[in-house]
Structure 1
């Protein structure tokens, strides 16, 4: 093949791609907007090592120039390309085509819990509004020598929760808001329960987050089905290490008679 032939056909020469392992795949991609839409069929080439986001890009470039998709890093660290692939919430950039059932149609739809803007792009502003309702970290005064001190175990406990990339897939699968739109004003969801939990267990923070979690963010509505943990791409144990311990601390404080008899308290204040 000459250089001129390759230039006229960009797909004719792709360095590093073994075309003998390429195949045609059938995709169904949801197309539409807030007023409605439907699944559209696409047949597209798949090369070795590609992920679902690669295929969406190819459909967008070759067959549907007006398709909308949100993405940023393509490395599984920004959380932007969340979607439902064959009914399961996933990051498109981290879902290899080789991990999907061979020969079967691949169905890509927007996250169901959030309003659709266009095609695969949803309005996730609900989560940012909830984030605004959580008071910022408020540290206690420094030690006499001007420093803060924490035990290493306290540092490690909260480190897991700071791995969150805010893909909001845990929010998407939480049936408290997925199936009940009316719960959204009173329910923060798993992403923000782990944020509350992280700050509540922080030994330097002075805000009373237990009362806030129960009375304003609907912690009691969570029935710990662990579906949020199952879809977390960072493998954060949202339920076991965050929500359940927070529930236990709230219940102890509210119902354990020892807290009243002996005046036990976490000595945090409401701010």
Structure 2
């Protein structure tokens, strides 16, 4: 492909500037290849962070022509031959040197995010989940922590003062993943995201989704659903009034579940084969009514239909444990 024109930012925390270079580019190469050739032929002290060169470690995050991208996944063939390719460090984080930035902000937020909390009394290796529950959150597990979504989010990109109160899209999908996890013992993921992670500061511009190299639908599948559930719980006047009248949120936790449990110490149900997924077996129920036989106000007035059962709409409860195949391999 011949010589191509580049502008690469050189400097450190004290300041820097864009410098012009002409570098040989071969067919099929990516921007990271060009940076390596620039190091080898012209600028041996050029600092650039990289590791796998396969788009899976997230190390080579940079801004290419102003767009947050992975250097190893941006092919030179996507640019015009006469185009000058500008390579700069991530803008949202402090520069250490050249193209290397200090992304410790993200590790601080990772430590602040409550980890998965297993059910009480359940040992590692004894967890049980249905495949449909695995698939719901599998999308968010693809995150390679390149922090491109964090960098492009204008809440912190343009407002440094927001960083203490805002965790960013990478950790919103972590909260969403755990909120979907049927074995996570913490039930306040949505509320925590709103009160401590700054979920309300996100105005869903979808810029984080646009730059994700793993094509995770961060906004549509994680942030928007969590914001909707928080709003329903906190601000929907019908839900608020219904709770005040019927005191549904003041019921003792686990009362409804404990009445349906038939699980013994061995993990078997009524003497059947062990089924150890640690959830109460629901009993078929009619519409929820109060002592006077009246429906809760929010159910009477809501125009929304209930979501499909994760077990399938053709399954009745209680589920026959003999028909399940989620047994511990060692039992």
TM-score range, shorter chain: 0.7 to 0.9
Question: Following superposition, which runs of at least 4 residues in structure 1 exceed 6 angstroms of deviation?
Answer: none
Corresponding position of 1:78 = 57
Contact 1:252/1:259 (8 A) holds in 2: no
Corresponding position of 2:205 = 225
Corresponding position of 2:66 = 87
The structure with the largest helix share of the pair is 1
**Would you say 1:237 and 2:217 are equivalent positions?**
yes
User: Which has the higher relative contact order, 1 or 2, with Cα contacts under 8 A spaced 6 or more apart?
Assistant: 1
TM-score where L is the length of structure 1: 0.86
Deviation for aligned residue 1:200? 1.1
- Secondary structure at the aligned position of 1:104 is classed as coil
Residue number among 20, 25, 48 corresponding to 1:46 in the alignment? 25
Contact 1:187/1:218 (8 A) holds in 2: yes
Corresponding position of 1:104 = 83
Inter-partner Cα distance in structure 2 for 1:149 and 1:84: 42
Unaligned 5+ residue runs, structure 2? 255-331
Corresponding position of 1:158 = 137
Contact 1:30/1:120 (8 A) holds in 2: yes
**Would you say 1:125 and 2:104 are equivalent positions?**
yes
The structure number with the bigger radius of gyration is 2
Deviation for aligned residue 1:209? 1.3
Inter-partner Cα distance in structure 2 for 1:169 and 1:44: 26
Deviation for aligned residue 1:262? 5.4
Deviation for aligned residue 1:196? 0.6
Unaligned 5+ residue runs, structure 1? 1-21
- Secondary structure at the aligned position of 1:172 is classed as helix
CA deviations 1:147-167 (Å, max 9, x no partner) are: 433232211110000000000
- Secondary structure at the aligned position of 1:244 is classed as helix
CA deviations 1:126-170 (Å, max 9, x no partner) are: 000000001110021468xx9433232211110000000000000
TM-score where L is the length of structure 2: 0.71
- Secondary structure at the aligned position of 2:248 is classed as coil
**Would you say 1:182 and 2:161 are equivalent positions?**
yes
Inter-partner Cα distance in structure 2 for 1:254 and 1:153: 29
